């Protein structure tokens, strides 16, 4: 039973990883998707530096909840430690995605949060998508991937943001991470994040005095899709 569950996890993670270049979120090998099963005590993640066109579902790497590899095979993504910290901090999430998608990276490199300028944003993210502080030289040198996870957790704690309501973040100078209950949704959140990042960039080019939408409109669009009173869809 456990072996079959892990096999299905590998298949889901493989399919989700392939969705990234298809959605133009990844070039070369610049991205990764993982999934966690807390009951089984395992994380499955893309192998490090492997071409999307060559990898298989069986190449997906299985680790324990601390990131220790459990099966012989390829090395896990170099971002694994960041995923582990996010799973340890945001206990409700089931999958993490990291990309270097163009427009989200622009905002991360600018060190700016992504404001909720419209309802497309509000449908998925309940307010601004935060940008972390810059990592210190010591953090980068002593534990870059771990500290990346920690600075994300720190940002959400300091700003009192619910990671369920804002399922993504911009890491200063680096790029976006998104998450969700399962890989397909986490990838969808990455697609939305890059789309609204482009929209926001162009919006500011049209009107450099634009302000975020009012809370009543943010509330309407977010809560018609999320929560107990949601009514969007079948």
d(CA 111, CA 222): 25
DSSP state, 44? E
Helix-strand-coil split of the chain, %, nearest 5: 45, 15, 40
Tokens of 99: 């990309």
Which residues are identified as catalytic? Answer: 123, 232
Based on C-alpha coordinates, what's the Rg of the chain? 18
Number of H helices, E strands in the chain: 7, 6
Q: Which residues contact 98 (CB under 8 A, 6 or more apart)?
A: 31, 32, 79, 82, 83, 175, 176, 177
d(CA 175, CA 114): 12
Tokens of 24: 């133009």
């Amino acid at each position: 039973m456990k072996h079959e569950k892990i096999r299905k996890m590998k298949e889901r993670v493989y399919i989700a990883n392939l969705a990234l270049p298809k959605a133009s979120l990844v070039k070369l090998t610049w991205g990764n998707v993982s999934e966690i099963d807390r009951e089984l005590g395992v994380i499955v993640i893309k192998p490090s530096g492997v071409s999307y066109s060559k990898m298989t579902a069986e190449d997906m790497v299985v680790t324990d909840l601390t990131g220790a590899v459990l099966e012989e095979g390829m090395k896990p993504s170099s971002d694994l430690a960041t995923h582990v910290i996010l799973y340890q901090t945001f206990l409700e999430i089931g999958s993490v995605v990291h990309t270097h998608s163009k427009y989200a990276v622009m905002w991360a490199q600018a060190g700016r949060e992504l404001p909720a300028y419209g309802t497309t944003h509000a449908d998925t993210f309940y307010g601004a998508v935060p940008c972390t502080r810059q990592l210190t030289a010591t953090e980068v040198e002593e534990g870059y991937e771990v500290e990346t996870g920690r600075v994300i957790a720190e940002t959400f704690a300091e700003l009192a943001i619910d990671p369920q309501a804002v399922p993504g973040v911009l890491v200063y100078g680096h790029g976006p991470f998104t998450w969700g209950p399962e890989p397909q949704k986490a990838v969808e959140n990455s697609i939305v994040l890059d789309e609204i990042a482009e929209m926001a960039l162009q919006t500011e080019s049209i009107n450099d005095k634009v302000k975020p939408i009012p809370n009543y409109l943010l509330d309407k669009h977010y809560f018609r899709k999320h929560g107990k009173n949601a009514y969007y869809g079948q």
